[in-house]
């Protein structure tokens, strides 16, 4: 009996080690995919933002609204079709989305100084790393944050759309402050969720699911980073 318990303990330890190794690889894929997306976003934003002719074409008349809302439409579309896509197609969709997002936020290179954008990006990167590390390492279950944070995101979207027409600096300031707090919380929450989802499904060994799960995780963290960056830029960025 003791021998059986020893074998069972050893098997459990081996299984735990395999899950830990797989989790590290999975999180590496999540952060790697997200990083490529960020690179595409800022490359597209810089290229368009420093081209006066393209800015005039894209941000004039009805085209402005298409450029502004295209990323939001693509996110909803991605969520609806992700299960029907192959891993390669899902990855390509994410990279296409990241590029469109870059075009959508390219106006920051017209409004804010390059140094200010670089400084806020660095601040966001450091904050994001700390928050994500907390979500990954904490033993506390923060899954209960999800409902309140998602409700907060919906409120931000509605308030932002309304303020497009009102143009109130006070409302924009409040939205930016709340936006930083909400997406900071989502960074920790999503990191823990991605980790827990992997652990829960690791035993299934479904490579296709794990691959697409990594892309969806990358999308979640990418959106948190971009939104934190944009709200911090609104609060602290130096304008041209």
Token couple for 11: 């098997």
Pick from 133, 107, 104, 240: which is nearest to 195 by CA?
A: 133
Pick from 106, 67, 75, 105: which is nearest to 93 by CA?
A: 75
Q: What is the DSSP string of 95-136?
A: HHHHHHHHHHTTTHHHHB-HHHHHHHHHHHHHHHHHHHHHHH
- Note the Cα 209 to chain centre separation in Å: 19
pLDDT at 68: 87
pLDDT at 61: 81
pLDDT at 7: 41
109-142 pLDDT tens trace: 999 999 999 999 999 999 999 999 999 999 999 9
Low-confidence ranges of the chain (pLDDT < 70): 1-19, 203-207
Q: How far apart are CA 60 and CA 26, in angstroms?
A: 42
φ and ψ of 168, to 5 deg: -85, 120
Token couple for 54: 């393209």
pLDDT at 166: 86
State how far the alpha carbon of 126 is from the alpha carbons of 2, 40, 98, 132, 213, in Å: 50, 20, 21, 10, 25
> How many helices (H) and strands (E) in the chain?
9, 0
Per-domain boundaries in the chain: 2-236
1-17 pLDDT tens trace: 545 444 444 444 445 55
pLDDT at 193: 95
């Amino acid at each position: 009996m003791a021998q059986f318990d020893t074998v069972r303990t050893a098997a459990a330890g081996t299984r735990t080690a395999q899950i830990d190794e797989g989790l590290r690889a999975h999180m590496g894929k999540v952060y790697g995919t997200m990083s490529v997306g960020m690179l595409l976003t800022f490359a597209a934003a810089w290229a368009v933002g420093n081209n006066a002719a393209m800015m005039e074409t894209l941000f004039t008349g009805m085209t402005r609204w298409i450029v502004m809302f295209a990323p939001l439409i693509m996110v909803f579309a991605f969520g609806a079709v992700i299960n029907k896509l192959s891993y390669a197609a899902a990855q390509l969709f994410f990279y296409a989305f990241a590029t469109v997002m870059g075009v959508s936020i390219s106006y920051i290179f017209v409004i804010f100084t390059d140094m200010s954008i670089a400084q806020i990006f660095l601040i966001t990167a450091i904050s994001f790393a700390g928050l994500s590390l907390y979500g990954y390492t904490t033993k506390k279950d923060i899954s209960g944050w999800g409902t309140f944070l998602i409700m907060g995101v919906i409120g931000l979207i509605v308030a932002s759309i309304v303020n497009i027409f009102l143009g109130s600096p006070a409302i924009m300031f409040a939205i930016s402050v709340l936006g930083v707090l909400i997406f900071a919380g989502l960074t920790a929450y999503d990191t823990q969720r991605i980790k827990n989802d992997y652990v829960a499904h690791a035993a299934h060994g479904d490579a296709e699911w794990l691959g697409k799960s990594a892309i969806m995780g990358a999308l979640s963290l990418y959106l948190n980073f971009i939104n934190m960056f944009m709200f911090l830029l609104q609060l602290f960025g130096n304008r041209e």
